[in-house]
Structure 1
Amino acid sequence: MDLGTVLACILSFLAAAFSSAGGVGGGSLYVPILNIVAGLSLKTATAFSTFMVTGGTLSNVLYTLIVLRGHEKGGHQPLIDYDIAVVSQPCLLLGVSVGVICNVMFPEWLITALFAVFLASATFKTYGTGMKRWRAETAAARRMLEGGSSLGDGAGEALLGQKDGDGHRRQCVDLMVLVTIWLCFFVIHLFIGGEGAKGVFDIEPCGVTYWLITIAQIPVAVAFTACIVHQKRKSHAQNSQEFDQAISVKSKLESLPVYVFPVAALLTGVMSGLFGIGGGLLLNPVLLQIGVPPKTASSTTMFMVLFCASMSMVQFIILGVDGIVTALVYAITCFVASIVGLVVIQGAIRKSGRVSLIVFMVAAILALSVVVIACSGAVRVWVQYTSGQASTQRNAVIMRY
């Protein structure tokens, strides 16, 4: 193991800790680290980053389900909102596929510019959201000192009101639905390839069969989303009829149309595929803007990113990515670092009583990603321009898809 790999592991550990604390995947930081510090090619760095994101999000989700659940809402209210996840996941995966096609069509300089502008805008908006929540927490703390009221933990309620007895059963059903969605899209991507890898069958890129399989993702996503939304509305109506108190405990989310989340997930997926990064960096700020509490937004985002990243990781394993042992070392590093980041941020939240720290962490990661990706992208575009490789590489990418 050379010095560059050791340094890349250290930087990846720090990146994973910060990313996990903020509730984002961290792919936007891993790829430049592997490419610049470890000296890996961009294609290999992208493949390795899927292992790292999967490792980090897996430990984050396990820690949230096993450890944090016992500290929130008396131990019965999970931080992960399964309603948001199951409603949004099909459109998120569909959007990623659409974004990848746009990524192939657009020149790299335009993608880099759009990405920098979008992340800069998201940084300012997320920072503004954090400041609003900070002021609200300050006012709540003042009222607590004056009148003895408690400071909210920022976890929020689930998207749909539910009985405690039904909660576990519904979560298991939602999880099975998510696994089914994962398998459907995984089979499609296994046929046509993607993320820099070829499919398992010799399907001609951009041929009739290729596009038929690609377009098949649209009815699959629409069918899943329609069925899930219908079932959630039906379930919510039954809860409202059976329990009068369900109306009084509704969160702000329940006043929003259910289609808000699929549409937001679709747009987030398109941008993720277009910019070539995981959805966490984009999905978390979107959920915060919609009004999802920071803890719920962070945990739910990591849960959804786990499904996206694991799909790419399994595909790379099946198709035989080079250096899988090294990739697993990076993944284990991120697995451990993710827990460290969660422990630190949760300790800071408990001591300060300010959940807005998560929002500021997201804003900081966004700002850092703007600098890292914009600079590395600009250097890459300049090198391609001066060497005359831009058009050649673009044509090669188009042929791959």
Structure 2
Amino acid sequence: MSSCKTKSDNFFPCLTLFLGICVTLSLSYAKETQPEDTLQVNHFLNKIQQWSHHQDSELKVTASTVIAGLLCFIASSISSAGGIGGGGLFIPILTVVAGLELKTATSFSAFMVTGGSIANVMYNMLTTSSKFGGKILTDYDIALLSEPCMLLGVSIGVISNRVFPEWLVTILFAVFLAWSTFKTCRNGLLHWKSESESVNRYVTLKDESYDGTSEEPLLKKEEINNQLKFPWMKLGVLVMIWFSFFVLYLLRGNRYGQGIITMEPCGVGYWIISSLQIPVAIVFTACILCRKECCQNKVPNHQGKDIEDLTSSGPSNKLIFPFMALLAGILGGLFGIGGGMLISPLLLHVGIPPEVTAATCSFMVFFSSTMSAFQYLLLGMKHTDSALIFAIICFVGSLLGLLVVQRAIQKFGRASLIVFSVGIVMALSAVLMTSFGALHVWSDYTSGKYMGFKLPC
């Protein structure tokens, strides 16, 4: 105990050890104490499970579904400001409030994230920012370098989700989101501080040297000229990447052999086609990096810390975005949520401005969420009409959230509002998803189910 008090660096290791001892003692106590306390907890869990399954057979318009739709509308409004999908909020709302099973809620979440991301992509394509010279906020270079590895990471994460026990997934999810929330909120405070200094400096200069002139017509002209230079070639490459992975998913099918071709369930052909995603991601990433090396003499990009600066010096800097996307995809597939919630803090951490981070993440989430939605459709998803209704609700909520936040940013000059919205979503997701996972882990433990590592098939 003296070492914990003398050095602050040992706080987290000591805290982890303390929590581990508490968990071990509580589990051993649960085994030793007889039915009274344990039966009460099990009765409570059974009530929750009965409540959460009462609508799955036939989804109807009830008070609970209306409340769930309203909460999803609010969640999508908050999530859209940060350019993240919001799956970490949608899944608990649909399971606890609407009473859907986890599998059904996950498929609904894919459609809802797609609806919100469509609103984000449409808004960001049709608007420009005078802060960045009247250019579109979405950084298509980051999306190009990140998307192949993110789609590969999602597949790896899904397989890891089958192998890892639920208690390990819950712990990893809680630890990672707690760290991400802390980093995001700290970045938000730093952005808020720098924005306050910029606003004060601007007011001082304006009072000292105001000459009555305005550059607004020049900015509008620049915005019009830049709107004509849409990167259609980069968008075409992104669509090609998406289609390549989609074809592999169609050929592979699922682990039960359900696909467009007859295949042994989880057999040799399944794993061969699955492994083809690795060379596809490597080839696309290498081609994009080679093309960028050939175009290094072009005018650098407009966003704060340039992607040109991050990818032009040294192999480690060239691979920073693919590596982050691979990590975000693995964690997203492992935790069953979109990668936007995971890659957004990483982009903010390397110095990408909040506006560019939100627009770029929403663009990348669009590709990953549509991929998931199509897979659920091909596998015979139930309640598709209800899922589309929830997707439309999230589309409207995301559009409204974007308009409100962008208006607030223009009025107050606080782009840090985007960072704080990301932090709020991650904090709520950490609490809800961790609590939901903890209930499942406790239910499995008390029922005597196997809680170790499993085979992927």
1:121-132 alignment to 2 at 5 Å?
Answer: 121-132=179-190
Q: What is the alpha-carbon distance in structure 2 between the residues aligned to residue 224 and residue 63 of structure 1? A: 28
Q: What is the alpha-carbon distance in structure 2 between the residues aligned to residue 83 and residue 186 of structure 1? A: 21
1:99-114 alignment to 2 at 5 Å?
Answer: 99-114=157-172
Q: What is the alpha-carbon distance in structure 2 between the residues aligned to residue 272 and residue 197 of structure 1? A: 24
Q: What amino acid is the match of 1:96?
A: V
Matched, 1:301 2:355: no
Q: Which deviates further from its counterpart, 197-206 or 291-300?
A: 197-206
Q: What amino acid is the match of 1:284?
A: S
Q: 2:309 aligns with which of 236, 249, 255?
A: 255
Larger RCO (alpha carbons 8 Å, 6+ apart) = 1
Matched, 1:61 2:115: no
8 Å Cα contact 2:114/2:373 also seen in 1: yes
Matched, 1:98 2:170: no
What is the aligned partner in structure 1 of residue 249 from structure 2?
Answer: 189
Q: Which deviates further from its counterpart, 121-130 or 377-386?
A: 377-386
Q: What amino acid is the match of 2:393?
A: T
8 Å Cα contact 1:284/1:297 also seen in 2: yes
8 Å Cα contact 2:255/2:270 also seen in 1: no
What is the aligned partner in structure 2 of residue 161 from structure 1?
Answer: none
Q: What amino acid is the match of 1:339?
A: L
8 Å Cα contact 2:303/2:352 also seen in 1: no
Cα distance change, pair 36–253 in 1 and its aligned pair in 2 (3 A): same
Q: What amino acid is the match of 2:410?
A: R
What is the aligned partner in structure 2 of residue 80 from structure 1?
Answer: 138
SS at match of 2:318: coil
8 Å Cα contact 2:116/2:398 also seen in 1: yes
Once the two structures are superposed, residues 119-157 of structure 1 have per-residue CA deviations (whole angstroms, 9 ceiling, x without a partner) of 00111111111111111111111211222399xxxxxxx
Q: 1:221 aligns with which of 238, 259, 281?
A: 281
Q: 2:374 aligns with which of 309, 314, 329?
A: 314
8 Å Cα contact 2:81/2:421 also seen in 1: yes
What is the aligned partner in structure 2 of residue 19 from structure 1?
Answer: 79
Q: What amino acid is the match of 1:230?
A: C
1:188-207 alignment to 2 at 5 Å?
Answer: 188-193=248-253, 198-207=258-267
Cα distance change, pair 266–280 in 1 and its aligned pair in 2 (3 A): same
Matched, 1:139 2:139: no
TM-score (norm 2): 0.77
Shift of 1:390: 4.8
What is the aligned partner in structure 2 of residue 284 from structure 1?
Answer: 344
Shift of 1:166: 9.3
What is the aligned partner in structure 1 of residue 290 from structure 2?
Answer: 230
Matched, 1:270 2:330: yes
Q: What amino acid is the match of 1:188?
A: L
Shift of 1:199: 3.1
8 Å Cα contact 1:56/1:338 also seen in 2: yes
Cα distance change, pair 120–198 in 1 and its aligned pair in 2 (3 A): farther
Cα distance change, pair 250–359 in 1 and its aligned pair in 2 (3 A): closer
Cα distance change, pair 198–301 in 1 and its aligned pair in 2 (3 A): farther
Shift of 1:204: 2.7
SS at match of 1:69: coil
Once the two structures are superposed, residues 185-207 of structure 1 have per-residue CA deviations (whole angstroms, 9 ceiling, x without a partner) of 11111233359994333423432
What is the aligned partner in structure 1 of residue 99 from structure 2?
Answer: 39
Once the two structures are superposed, residues 329-373 of structure 1 have per-residue CA deviations (whole angstroms, 9 ceiling, x without a partner) of 000000000001101111221221111111111111111111010
What is the aligned partner in structure 2 of residue 352 from structure 1?
Answer: 412
Greater radius of gyration (CA): 2
8 Å Cα contact 1:58/1:335 also seen in 2: yes
Identity %: 48
TM-score (norm 1): 0.87
Q: Which deviates further from its counterpart, 257-266 or 212-221?
A: 257-266
Cα distance change, pair 248–385 in 1 and its aligned pair in 2 (3 A): closer
SS at match of 1:325: helix
Cα distance change, pair 288–56 in 1 and its aligned pair in 2 (3 A): same
Q: What is the alpha-carbon distance in structure 2 between the residues aligned to residue 272 and residue 112 of structure 1? A: 13
What is the aligned partner in structure 2 of residue 156 from structure 1?
Answer: none
Q: CA RMSD in A?
A: 2.5
Cα distance change, pair 72–181 in 1 and its aligned pair in 2 (3 A): same
Once the two structures are superposed, residues 306-341 of structure 1 have per-residue CA deviations (whole angstroms, 9 ceiling, x without a partner) of 000001112222332111000000000000000011
8 Å Cα contact 2:305/2:352 also seen in 1: no
8 Å Cα contact 1:200/1:319 also seen in 2: no
Shift of 1:267: 1.1
Cα distance change, pair 377–204 in 1 and its aligned pair in 2 (3 A): same
Q: Which structure 1 residue ranges, 5 or more long, are not aligned?
A: 151-163, 241-245
8 Å Cα contact 2:146/2:322 also seen in 1: yes
Shift of 1:170: 6.7
Count of aligned pairs between the two proteins = 376
8 Å Cα contact 2:110/2:369 also seen in 1: yes
What is the aligned partner in structure 1 of residue 270 from structure 2?
Answer: 210
